Amino acid sequence: MKTLIAGLMAMAVLAGMTGCGQKNTENKNTTNTTTSSGNPITAPVDYLGAAAKAKRVSEKTVDLASLRQAIQLFYAQEDRYPRDLQELVSEKYIGALPPPPAGTEFKYNPANGEISIVPKP
């Protein structure tokens, strides 16, 4: 009886060992969706480029948000949208128009108060 139990245990150990020795054949196809080269030498340049892009996007978002808020405040107090963005400055809703990002301009529709940033023609 002891030999039977010992034999079964030996077979269980061997079966476990053969299962542990197999290589993982899973396809590990991963794609890198970043635009960096992954080269440690260019990492500082990649970082600075990404940081500059993030700064431009955040500045554009903040400028548009502040202009939209001023337009809505103007509408709430004057019961109309400003004729142009300069009217926000002349009526003291904002101190000065923020400059649009390089190569772009503000597009304002006085009929509905919508504002966006578009590339310069």
Q: What ranges do the domains of the chain cover?
A: 44-121
Question: How far apart (Å, rounded) are the C-alpha atoms in residues 71 and 110?
Answer: 10
Task: Write the pLDDT tens digit of every residue in 86-112.
Answer: 999 999 999 999 988 888 899 999 999
Residue of higher predicted confidence among 119 and 6 = 119
- Total count of residues recorded for the chain: 121
Answer yes or no: are the C-beta atoms of 83 and 110 closer than 8 Å.
yes
DSSP, collapsed to helix, strand or coil, labels residue 74 as: helix
pTM higher than 0.75: no
Beta-ladder partners of 104:
119
Q: What per-residue confidence (pLDDT) applies to 80?
A: 97
Amino acid at 78: E
Q: What per-residue confidence (pLDDT) applies to 91?
A: 96
